[in-house]
Structures are given as C-alpha cells and as structure tokens.
Amino acid sequence: MIESERIKKLNEIDDASADFVIYWMQQSQRTTYNHALHYAIQKANEKNKPLLVYFGITDQFPEANLRHYHFMIQGLQQVQKNLLQRNIQFIIHIENPVDGICSLAKNAALVVVDCGYLKVQKEWRKKVADQIDCSLVQIESDVIVPVETASNKEEYAAYTLRPKIHRLLPKFLTELTANTVKRGSLDYDFSSINLSNISSVTSQLDVDTSVLPVSSFTGGEDEAKKVLDYFIKHHIKSFDTKRNDPSKKVTSQLSPYLHFGQISPLYIALNIKKNTPDYADSFLEELIVRRELSMNFVHFNDSYDTNFCLPSWAFESLQKHESDKREYVYTIDELEHASTHDAYWNAAQNEMKVTGKMHGYMRMYWGKKILEWTETVSKAFDHALYLNNTYELDGRDPNGFAGVAWCFGKHDRAWKERPIFGKVRYMNEAGLKRKGNLEEYITQVEKKVDEFGK
C-alpha cells in the first residue's frame, strides 16, 4: 500500500474516459520499489485499462553530457526489458518530455508522474499539468519520508531535520510489494526508439561529447542491486570507522544509481536493516537524514545553484573576507585540468574526471580549496558546481548542490574567524592526512589515470 502523503494531484482536472493510463517516468528510472509505477498499475487495474510507460530523452537537460546520457540509457535498457516481462509497453522518444507526454495524454484517462525537486523538473510538471485534459498525479518515490511531510520549511541543518525524520520512519520504512497489470499494453502500436545501440541513440543528441562515458560504473537497476549486495557483504562493517579514508574504498558507490533513480533508497534501507542491523546506523544517517536534507534544501530554496543560497552568517562572512590575499589563485582551466600545487586536490579532481565519482571526504576538501583559490565567492561557487556537475555521475541533483553549498557554509555552523573563509569551516592538508593514507590514495588514482586516460 502506498502512503497517502506520497500522492499529490498536480491539477484540478478529473480522470478522463479514455483509452489507457500513462506513467510518465522521469526521476524514478526503475521498475523495483517504484511507488509511481505501483500506483499507475493500481489505477490502471481499477479502471480496467492498459498501462503505458513513457520516457522522453531530451538533450536540453541542464549540464548533462555524453557521460550522463550513456549511463542513463544503460539504465533505460534495463527498464525496457523489465517492463516487457511485465506486459507493459515502454515508449521512449527523443524529444522534449513536456511535448511528448502532452501528445500522448490526449488519449489518456490519467497521467501519473514521479517526483523531482530541481527547478527544471518542477517546471516540466507544471507545464504538463496546465496543458493536458486529464488528471496529473505525482507520486513521491525517491525519498523515504516525503519532503513536505518531513518539514514545511527549509531546515537549517541535519540536527533540525533528524528528529522529524526519525519520528516518521516507522510509517514510511515499509515494504512495497510488486503488483501486476490486468491488461497488457504490448499490442498498442506506438513508435519507440531502439535502445540496443547506445552510440546510435546519443549520436542523435546535441550534447557535449568531450566528457566520455566511464567504465567504472554500469547503469541499471540490476547493476545497482549488485553494488548494494557487494557493499553489504564486504564494506558496511567498516563504513562507520573507515568511510573518511579515501584509500580504503568502503563507501557504498550507490550515489550514481540514486541520482538516476535506478535504485530506491527505501529498497537500500530495508536491505541494510535486514542484513546488517548492527552496522546500519551510520550508513542510514547518510542515506536518509543527510540525503533528504538535500531534497529539503533544493525544494524550499530556489537559489540552490548560487551562493545566495547560503545562510546569512556564511554569506556575510565570506563577503567580508573576499578581498583577503590568496596565496594561490587558479583559473577554471587550471582547476579542470588538475594543475594546482596540491597533489591531493589534483588526485581528487582526476578521480572525478576518470571514474565519474569522487570520494566523499575528498569532495569536501576539494570544494573548500576552490573557495580558497578563487578571487570571488560567487566565482568559486560557480566553478565548484561546473566541475561537479560536468564530471560526476551523481552531480546535478539535490545531493550534489547541497554538497557544494556545504563547502561554503550551508548546513554547518559558524567557526572561528580566519582569512578568506571568515567563519566558514576550514580544511587543510594536515587534517586530510589524519583521515587516512593519502599517498596510497594518490597512487590508486594515478593507476586509474594511466589505465583510462585523463
């Protein structure tokens, strides 16, 4: 059963008397533990109508490049296969998703959509809600506790959201049993692009092709489940004590899959609690409280992609120290090519460029140094977002925006005032070295660079 708090009607139009129900898949790109798909099947069965699933691949998604599209299409291949096995037709077009779903909705009794928190995702849903002639219902499936249920305002930090989340977990941390359609839709004659050759699909997109796909991650919900199983079997027992050591590699590696909705956070949490309950707490803090704090941030703060999102104490303190002398100043080109004096920072940048993901603790250090080495705060913020969103598979999402903003004081407290940083938390090499074997980390990254190229 789906909790009522996950369900939100986006327009005031009643369901139509038409041919089928459509699930407009966008954020939750999976067939397992997908509340939107579950709800759409339920409604299609109630109406005794077939269900169609639609996905529009647009080359206009902000900052998306070949690396991102390649990983996403790998995941969509798996979705197509899984839906076929469930007797559901998957319609995939290369087009503006708003135009595509509005065209299909002319013959729809109901359109169901999953929930996204970025401005572009909200804009798409609003445009569709205003244009179609049937009901548009949004189902929130990529968080455990629905964002507006957890809080009705932007939270200051994790410690203000944590108790609200924890009070609600017993209600929302529950199994979602797969359901089946009564009427299949495979006989409908809708055109759809062929996903079997990813290069053929991406060649039709007008996107940046200079950022190449990575071999370190393979997209798809089946692959995501393998990554989760490996983490549970080999690393979760060390997660609490070793996660900040970049040379140990004990983090889950699930963030790219969470970014594209290829695995459900609810599925992850339930499996962690079931298989390793004695070691679950620290990981679930990251997965639930910290991650859902980022959704709260971008949902309630429209300035999440600029330094104006910062709390007043951080914004004012950084502005006060903006003219402080910097020992090193680097251009965006020098940063992008890892051409700084700092071997640890360069390794972090190269790890991101080559593998599509940077170790979490290194990403904090990386962001702090961009602030320290850039002439102005706004330029530093823009540089950090550009690099993060260009190379990270898990960039361009609430967690990515919140992670960059944290480096500039978001969701943190004021510290002792110092040059350049003001009251924003400072990080240096000495502190970094205390977290683990940084020389080993550099060696590991260099091997990857040699293997895959810069």
User: Could you read off the pLDDT tens digit of each residue along the chain, which spans 454 residues?
Assistant: 899 999 999 999 999 889 999 999 999 999 999 999 999 999 999 999 999 999 999 999 999 999 999 999 999 999 999 999 999 999 999 999 999 999 999 999 999 999 999 999 999 999 999 999 999 999 999 999 999 999 999 999 999 999 999 999 999 999 999 999 999 999 999 999 999 999 999 999 999 999 999 999 999 999 999 999 999 999 999 999 999 999 999 999 999 999 999 999 999 999 999 999 999 999 999 999 999 999 999 999 999 999 999 999 999 999 999 999 999 999 999 999 999 999 999 999 999 999 999 999 999 999 999 999 999 999 999 999 999 999 999 999 999 999 999 999 999 999 999 999 999 999 999 999 999 999 999 999 999 998 876 5
CA angle 57, 303, 324 (to 5 degrees): 125
Q: How far is CA 413 from the centre of its chain?
A: 25
* CATH number attached to the domain at 146-176+221-300: 1.25.40.80
DSSP 232-262: HHHTHHHHHHHTT-TTT--S---HHHHHTTS
Per DSSP bridges, beta strands 51-57 and 89-94 are parallel
Give CA–CA dist 212/224, Å, rounded: 21
CA 56, 57, 59, 65 torsion-angle sign? positive
Give all strands of the β-sheet with 7-9 in edge-to-edge order.
7-9, 135-139, 108-114, 20-24, 51-57, 89-94
**Token pair belonging to 170:** 């017993």
Q: Is the pTM of this model over 0.85?
A: yes
Give the CATH fold of the 302-452 domain: DNA Cyclobutane Dipyrimidine Photolyase, subunit A; domain 3 (1.10.579)
| Pick among 3.30.1370.100, 3.40.50.620, 3.40.718.10, 3.40.50.300: CATH of 4-142 | 3.40.50.620
How do the domains of the chain map onto residue ranges? Answer: 4-142, 146-176+221-300, 302-452
